[in-house]
Amino acid sequence: MNLSNKKDTKDIEASKCPDCSRINEVLSRVGDRWSILVIISLTQYGTLRFNELKRNLGISQRMLSLTLRELERDGLVNRKQYPTIPPKVEYSLTPMGKSFCEPVTALGYWALENLNAIDKARNKFDMSAK
């Protein structure tokens, strides 16, 4: 068996973890920074309109649109459109999105608690690399 051959390597990985490709698919979608920040914002503030999310996160309109569309597709976010002029659209978490709050919030708190340690580690690494 040649490990440099991508097909053989893929077969080895699949035999060791048959669900890994599905897990990877889900994590790549919900694990990106904007998805996590949208989930955290909707957890913290509840139902929000598009521009409220945009202001809270400092995200571009295009990136927020793409992120919300994917989170809606994955069943984590509800999109409710009201027939008004101008159009009013609100976003909230679905029950599955709410079940995702605990691990995402824990990740957010972990990041906040470790910012200084991460900065120190990065500085130490950067200084030793010079």
The domains located in the chain, with CATH, are 1-30 (no CATH), 32-129 (1.10.10.10)
Q: Mind listing the pLDDT tens digit for each residue in 66-114?
A: 999 999 999 999 999 999 998 899 999 999 999 988 888 888 889 899 9
Q: 0.85 exceeded by the pTM?
A: no
Structure letter (DSSP) for residue 59: -
pLDDT at 8 over 60: no
Residue 114 tokens read as 């470790």
Q: Residue 27 is which amino acid?
A: L
Q: Which residues of 83-120 are buried (b: 16+ CB within 10 A; e: fewer)?
A: eeeeeeeebebeeebeebbeebeeebeeeeeeeeeeee
Is 93 in a helix, a strand, or coil? strand
Amino acid 113: pLDDT: 94
Q: Mind listing the pLDDT tens digit for each residue in 27-69?
A: 877 788 899 999 999 999 999 999 999 999 999 999 999 999 9
Residue 46 tokens read as 């509840």
